[in-house]
Chain A
Amino acid sequence: MAEDNTPAVLLKNLNKWYGEFHVLRNINLSVKRGEKIVVCGPSGSGKSTMIRCINRLEEHQEGSITVDGIELTDNLKNIDAVRAEVGMVFQHFNLFPHLTVLENCTLAPIWVKKMPRKEAEEKAMYFLDRVRIANQAHKYPGQVSGGQQQRVAIARSLCMSPRIMLFDEPTSALDPEMVKEVLDTMVMLAKEGMTMLCVTHEMGFAKAVADRVIFMDKGEIVEENEPEEFFSNPQSPRTRTFLEQIL
């Protein structure tokens, strides 16, 4: 494990192309332990791609990514080590529909961490209880609501004891009345000191928990600021235009 003063995530001169299309341009970002960062920006700005690079769901072509002191290269061992540190919550939940809520949570601990089933189930029940869905443990994902599914997805990630959590627009596929239950869960996590990177447009959430807000456009980090400053006094005209559109 890395020492406490090493950054949790360090992106240096990150560049990525999809064929001819330059998705990420010279991204530099350092995330401290326990820091909560909200990433926003118009669609196609590269914000999702950036955080998907952090656990190697996407490959980058130039620059370096270091997570908890481990650099992401082609080395499969490093990729596995990084993925063990990083949890991810997807826009469309991506729960395994053929497994129960409980089995969704125990699958990785059993097969990756070689945890005895009983222990894995106890741990899963603990986190399911934390996201207040323990009573649905034996149902299948198809039998619970969208908000509940996203909370299960958060619990599923937590079961692997990650040190960093990535959220890729976790509330944008939800019906409005379910957004709050998921955000509440995320706020709870934030208060416990989890390092978090969230791609989200929930400005209320950003104001409440974020240490920094990052605005991306056309593959670049355009602005980086404290939430108060960011919303009340945006520096870049592009940020201003964007904020006018969403607020």
Chain B
Amino acid sequence: MAGKTSQSEGASRTVSDVLHNETFRAILAQVILVGAVVLAAWYLVSNTLDNLAARQISTGFGYLTKNAGFEISDKFISVSAANSYGRALLAGLVNTLVVSLISIVLASLFGTIVGISRLSKNWLVAKLALTYVEGVRNIPLLLQLIFWWKVITAIAPQPRDALQILPEVFFSNRGLNFPLMSPDPVWGWVWLGLLVGIIGAVFIWRWANKVQARTGKRPGSIPLYLASIIGVPVLVWLVGGAPTGVDAPVLGRFSLTGGGSVSTALLAMIVGLTFYTSTFIAEIVRSGIQAVSHGQTEAGDALGLSRRQVLRLVVLPQALRVIIPPMTSQYLNITKNSSLGVAIGYQEIASITNTTLNQTGQAIEAIALMMVVYLSVSLTLSLLMNWYNHQIKLVER
């Protein structure tokens, strides 16, 4: 009898209780949302295809394998007019990554210096840093890029009067020209040697940690690391017969040829992105350091740690935690802002995408592809930074 009652109660519960169940409702809402999104996407895609077909505009990604037929000025992978649009776009992506990476490194270094200068006790240094930050970050980046581009093209000397800033390194309105070592198979091994040297330095560092833990004395100072990083490749170079052939830039009929070169547009991009972003990074670094309370420094001082030890062991590890998340978004900004290269003729992914969509007329595919590429690059960068941030997160109660 009792069993029956509970059963009928159970049945009534299944009807109304499930409808009022919080979990069920949450799942239902999500199912409806996903369904709506999928439906809308399907409608948009099919309607687009219909319209494109009706207007006799070609569709699909077949154009990627077609011959591109245009040249790219700055290239870090081999690409020419004889390659496909796909290859050209890849070269554009590499150009985006190159300019972003260089700017990220330079902006981080310079921004850190400016950020620390903002906290300087020297009045002049602090005010200079403040003026720099407020001045540069309040001018739109596009203007700055055009400014630097104009400065370099208009003020820098002609190739025949190029400024020699270092031996065999020339600066002209065509950009930078610098010597490269003549191709020789030994150089491949030397690079490998450098890699081995760096790995060696890491091992020396870990060994030093172990020795310090055991004896208290930390062996191995800077010369030891340098010996590994520089010594190994130099040794490889010597063993390989020490080739010394240099491919230096020489003045040809039109401009400097031979060696390596960086174009005006790339130069302007690096300078513009670095200066602009460094101001934001400076503020992040400043607030990160200020976020570590003065009590931390005092505690370190009171324990007898040296100034450098306090900075390295106490302040920086804590400041980094505050700095990393906003730094991530600055790095993402650099990557996205590199698309402004379009304006000054730096052929990064957005610029190549533009040319491609103009030559093939396939605007939707080209733009979609570019968005996917930017999204992938940004998400990868975010993931890396989030992972790093997670590694160093503070444990709280």
Contacts and interface: CB of A to CB of B under 8 A. Distances in A.
Q: A contacts B directly in the complex (CB < 8 Å)?
A: yes
Interface of A: 55-57, 80, 83-84, 86-88, 90, 92, 94-98, 107-108, 110-120, 140, 142-144, 156-157, 160
A55 B304 CA distance: 10
Contacts of B372: none
Contacts of B321: 98
Interface residues of B, number: 29
A94 B299 contact: yes
A116 B214 CA distance: 5
Contacts of A83: 301-304
A118 B216 CA distance: 9
Interface in B297-319: 298-299, 301-306, 309, 313-314, 317-318
Which of A98, A143, A157 has the most chain B CB within a 10 Å cutoff? A98
Contacts, number: 88
B212 A108 contact: no
Nearest to B314: A96
A143 B295 CA distance: 19
A57 B397 contact: no
A134 B218 CA distance: 28
| Chain B contact residues, majority secondary structure | helix
B216 A113 contact: yes
25 contacts: A55-B302, A56-B301, A57-B302, A83-B301, A86-B302, A92-B295, A94-B295, A94-B299, A98-B392, A112-B303, A112-B309, A114-B216, A114-B217, A116-B215, A116-B216, A117-B212, A117-B214, A118-B213, A142-B394, A142-B395, A142-B396, A142-B397, A144-B397, A157-B302, A157-B303
A184 to B, nearest CB: 23
Interface of B: 212-218, 293, 295-296, 298-299, 301-306, 309, 313-314, 317-318, 321, 392, 394-397
A108 B305 contact: yes
A96 B299 contact: yes
Contacts of B395: 140, 142-143
Contact of A111 (B299, B302, B309): B309
B301 A108 contact: no
Contacts of B309: 111-112
B317 to A, nearest CB: 5
Contacts of A156: 303
